A and B are shown apart, each in its own frame.
Chain A
């Protein structure tokens, strides 16, 4: 705002000054501790209303009881004392958003924490909002390319889908999410990465990586770290989806990653126990399912009448000892439209990303795949399934018949081809090219140890001398393109085998 506008606003205020009375309801703090304030009075207080304390801190009214209101303080509560006044603001919890929030690291109240200055405000977005109704939605049919071969081929994700990333600690869950963000460059998709209860050092490494890859130009990071209060960790995912909804309302596509919802459930458990809500299974409150269902239902694809935008959600859940039948994992599995299951065993064997093809599923499936990938990935999925069945027989070596040996060899090469380095997303066309080669026995003469080198060489070859084929694969898939692609791969193979 420039000086002239400022002066005009001040003059306007002076001219329109009226000696009016503003009436605000207040209560008295009865007790304060562990981030929870119990306030008497506030008889007209609404659920999730923001309450302002005398020291300026803000809380959210979560428990409306007979005599008191249980308020969760957002931020530092040490400045609040017994006997202080707590005023109603009349506002439900919301955060200020605008286009300038892109590229920034913010806390769950949209306060910038990256030291790059203030963020302008376009509107106040409600943190809790009812999910779009059935008639406003459109079926998921547009793919969201992650750039990860095994995901795009075998567990495809569509725009508007909820795909869970689940696995033990240190299995590469965040790596899958970050690679997906990096691959959205140039796709006109905004990304929101919500870090819940994470180490701030880890989040800073992620931000740095995104900056190096140029991904921060379209990404917002919402951070409620391990040292932040459980109240901030509780609202962080809702803040993330509220930011996403700001862009959804403009008809844009958004990707939201919640890393991770296990810590979110633990933060909510802590708040609920402090509010003396009755504990249920594993001490979680009875509405822990609703905690995640109302969050994930806000991911959707809207029809043209409502703008045609979408929010794709990739929630992350951490399991203990690979137990997917635990309480929170089963809750979230039942909500989402599929899961990507990462196994520690595969990770330790060097198969990275450590995605278990047998246990991973996408309920949207081929509807979220381009024709070229759909036609190519089918045979590969079958081959991998056969390989899993026959894998235990591999130890018998020479006692096996030729067909079984062939299936095993094909399966091993499939697994090897699906390996991928971190921060190295691969375009759809290149993925189709390499998988096509595998399916059509064009890798039979390539040694197992040379597969990854072969793959790198193929991509370079296609980029440099067959760029038109790559472009065509992205747009259509017919006999003409298949013929050209096969010819190109054979030409490359001849030069590779020299």
Chain B
């Protein structure tokens, strides 16, 4: 079944292949011939979402109670194994009480005091 998601994924594949320009031109010609140009806004929206989630995926987010020195951030980057050019976003958050929390590529590395207290609460409840 033809849907905007399938068309968008196809377009993405073409863009990374050899003779990408020719394939993309043929793609638009195909849409026009098959009367599928109405899918274009949805294809654009899908690609923008993908771009946004890709940026989000590759960004290193650091939450900390207090400001961190750049050396500390570099140490975190080294421990987690972040790619060299990955953008870093630092957020000062009082809610984590102490320590820090790092989010990078679908993983949360939680060393915050809030998390420790939460775990302790669960232990007490189960006792």
* Distance, CA A120 to CA B53, complexed state (A): 43
* Distance, CA A6 to CA B127, complexed state (A): 10
* Distance, CA A20 to CA B111, complexed state (A): 6
The answer to whether A23 and B53 have CB atoms under 8 Å apart is no
The segment out of B20-28, B34-42, B102-110 that lies at the interface is: B102-110
Which of A13, A24, A28 is in CB contact (< 8 Å) with B107? A24
Interface size of A by CB at 8 A reads 24
What residues of chain A lie closer than 8 Å to B99, measured between beta carbons?
Answer: 19
Does B45 reach chain A (CB closer than 8 Å)?
A: no
The answer to whether B127 and A13 have CB atoms under 8 Å apart is no
The answer to whether B106 and A41 have CB atoms under 8 Å apart is yes
Known: A9-B124, A13-B120, A121-B126. A19 touches B107 (CB 8 A): no
The answer to whether B111 and A43 have CB atoms under 8 Å apart is no
The residue in chain A whose Cβ has the minimal distance to the Cβ of B98 is: A19
The answer to whether B109 and A23 have CB atoms under 8 Å apart is yes
The residue in chain A whose Cβ has the minimal distance to the Cβ of B79 is: A21
The answer to whether B111 and A24 have CB atoms under 8 Å apart is no
Which of B106, B115, B116 is in CB contact (< 8 Å) with A17? B116
Which of B53, B123, B124, B126 is in CB contact (< 8 Å) with A40? B53
Does A27 reach chain B (CB closer than 8 Å)?
A: yes
Does A26 reach chain B (CB closer than 8 Å)?
A: yes
Interface residues of B in 84-120 (CB under 8 A from A): 99, 103, 106-111, 115-116, 119-120
What residues of chain B lie closer than 8 Å to A23, measured between beta carbons?
Answer: 107-110
Does A1 reach chain B (CB closer than 8 Å)?
A: yes
The answer to whether B108 and A26 have CB atoms under 8 Å apart is yes
What residues of chain A lie closer than 8 Å to B120, measured between beta carbons?
Answer: 13
Interface residues of A in 1-58 (CB under 8 A from B): 1, 5-6, 9, 13, 17, 19-28, 40-43
The answer to whether B126 and A25 have CB atoms under 8 Å apart is no
The residue in chain A whose Cβ has the minimal distance to the Cβ of B125 is: A121
Does A87 reach chain B (CB closer than 8 Å)?
A: yes
What residues of chain A lie closer than 8 Å to B106, measured between beta carbons?
Answer: 25-27, 41-43
Least Cβ–Cβ distance between A87 and chain B, in angstroms: 7
Least Cβ–Cβ distance between B64 and chain A, in angstroms: 13
The residue in chain B whose Cβ has the minimal distance to the Cβ of A40 is: B53
What residues of chain A lie closer than 8 Å to B108, measured between beta carbons?
Answer: 23-26, 85, 87
The residue in chain A whose Cβ has the minimal distance to the Cβ of B49 is: A30
Interface size of B by CB at 8 A reads 19
What residues of chain B lie closer than 8 Å to A21, measured between beta carbons?
Answer: 109-111
Least Cβ–Cβ distance between B54 and chain A, in angstroms: 11
What residues of chain A lie closer than 8 Å to B127, measured between beta carbons?
Answer: 1, 5, 9
The answer to whether A22 and B107 have CB atoms under 8 Å apart is no
* Distance, CA A21 to CA B79, complexed state (A): 11
What residues of chain A lie closer than 8 Å to B119, measured between beta carbons?
Answer: 22
What residues of chain A lie closer than 8 Å to B110, measured between beta carbons?
Answer: 21-24
Known: A1-B127, A13-B120, A19-B99. A26 touches B107 (CB 8 A): yes
What residues of chain B lie closer than 8 Å to A9, measured between beta carbons?
Answer: 123-124, 127
Interface residues of A in 380-430 (CB under 8 A from B): none
The residue in chain A whose Cβ has the minimal distance to the Cβ of B109 is: A21
What residues of chain A lie closer than 8 Å to B53, measured between beta carbons?
Answer: 28, 40
What residues of chain A lie closer than 8 Å to B115, measured between beta carbons?
Answer: 22
* Distance, CA A6 to CA B106, complexed state (A): 36
The residue in chain B whose Cβ has the minimal distance to the Cβ of A85 is: B108
* Distance, CA A21 to CA B115, complexed state (A): 10
The residue in chain A whose Cβ has the minimal distance to the Cβ of B124 is: A9
What residues of chain B lie closer than 8 Å to A22, measured between beta carbons?
Answer: 109-111, 115, 119
* Distance, CA A394 to CA B4, complexed state (A): 73
* Distance, CA A21 to CA B103, complexed state (A): 12
What residues of chain B lie closer than 8 Å to A6, measured between beta carbons?
Answer: 124
* Distance, CA A23 to CA B116, complexed state (A): 13
What residues of chain A lie closer than 8 Å to B125, measured between beta carbons?
Answer: 121
- Residue of B56, B108, B109 with most chain A CB atoms under a 10 A cut-off: B108
Known: A6-B124, A13-B120. A25 touches B107 (CB 8 A): yes
Which residues in B have some Cβ–Cβ distance to A below 8 Å? Answer: 53, 56, 99, 103, 106-111, 115-116, 119-120, 123-127
Which residues in A have some Cβ–Cβ distance to B below 8 Å? Answer: 1, 5-6, 9, 13, 17, 19-28, 40-43, 85, 87, 96, 121
A-B pairs, 10 with minimum CB distance: A41-B106, A21-B111, A24-B108, A21-B109, A22-B110, A121-B126, A13-B120, A23-B109, A26-B108, A25-B107
Q: List 19 A-B contacts (CB under 8 A).
A: A1-B124, A5-B127, A6-B124, A9-B123, A9-B127, A17-B116, A19-B99, A22-B110, A22-B119, A23-B107, A23-B108, A23-B110, A24-B108, A25-B106, A26-B103, A27-B106, A28-B56, A42-B106, A43-B106
